């Protein structure tokens, strides 16, 4: 720049402390938003099951999967449709202690994915039985399976 010439807008911007502060804050904000997006957005890690049980149907075919998670929840995922007669429900049971007997952990009126709550039960362990029975509306009247077993399987450690 020659003697006596006034600086151009680029030079003034380059020498402006306010510009560099705003640029620094904008960069920090963008970094924070990116970190939050990675941690909680579509790229976040989904919980992995600790135990998995494949429930087999009466002909030995895979009929449903139970994924048990470390937080005491589980997902029941049917692999085929099950017709539920009027006035009946599907009841999900688990058995971890034969002396205690089976415990009901869920009811559904149709073959669909459901969330199961296992938090009040001992931690899901290998070879724990899960089964689905056909019960009267409202579930088993005696707190034990009364209807036919539609599918059952035991847990294994998830890979």
Q: Are residues 28 and 69 in the same domain?
A: no
Closest CA to 153 of 73, 84, 78, 100: 78
In this prediction, the residues of the chain whose per-residue pLDDT falls under 70 are 1-6, 43-45
82 and 123 inside one domain:
yes
Q: Are residues 82 and 109 in the same domain?
A: yes
For the segment 69-114, what is each residue's pLDDT rounded down to a tens digit? 988 899 999 998 888 999 999 999 999 999 999 999 999 988 889 9
CATH label of the domain that carries residue 63 = 2.60.40
Measured in whole angstroms, the distance separating CA 146 from the mean position of its chain's CA atoms is 30
18 assigned to some structural domain: yes
- Cα 73 to Cα 94: distance, rounded to the nearest angstrom: 13
Residue 128: is it exposed, middle or buried by C-beta count within 10 angstroms (0-12/13-18/19+)? buried
Q: Are residues 23 and 79 in the same domain?
A: no
30 and 55 in a single domain? The answer is no
Q: Return the closest-CA partner of residue 53 out of 148, 159, 152, 136.
A: 152
Are 63 and 35 within one domain? no
Residue 142 included in any domain? yes
Q: Is residue 46 part of a domain?
A: no
Distance CA 76, CA 80 (A): 12
Structural domain count of the chain: 2
Q: What does the mean pLDDT of the chain come to?
A: 89
Q: Do 55 and 99 fall within a single domain? A: yes
Rounded to 5°, the CA angle 147-135-116 comes to 115
Domain of 18, in residue numbers: 9-40
């Amino acid at each position: 720049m020659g003697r006596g010439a006034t600086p151009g807008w680029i030079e003034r911007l380059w020498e402006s402390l306010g510009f560099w502060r705003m640029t620094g804050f904008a960069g920090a904000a963008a970094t924070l938003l990116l970190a939050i997006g990675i941690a909680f957005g579509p790229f976040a890690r989904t919980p992995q099951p600790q135990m998995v049980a494949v429930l087999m149907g009466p002909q030995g075919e895979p009929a449903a999967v139970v994924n048990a998670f470390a937080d005491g929840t589980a997902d029941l995922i049917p692999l085929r449709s099950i017709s539920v007669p009027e006035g009946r429900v599907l009841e999900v049971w688990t058995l971890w202690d034969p002396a205690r007997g089976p415990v009901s952990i869920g009811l559904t009126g149709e073959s669909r994915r459901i969330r199961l709550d296992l938090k009040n039960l001992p931690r899901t362990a290998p070879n724990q039985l899960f089964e689905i029975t056909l019960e009267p509306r409202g579930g088993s009247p005696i707190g034990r399976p009364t209807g036919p077993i539609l599918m059952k399987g035991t847990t294994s450690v998830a890979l």
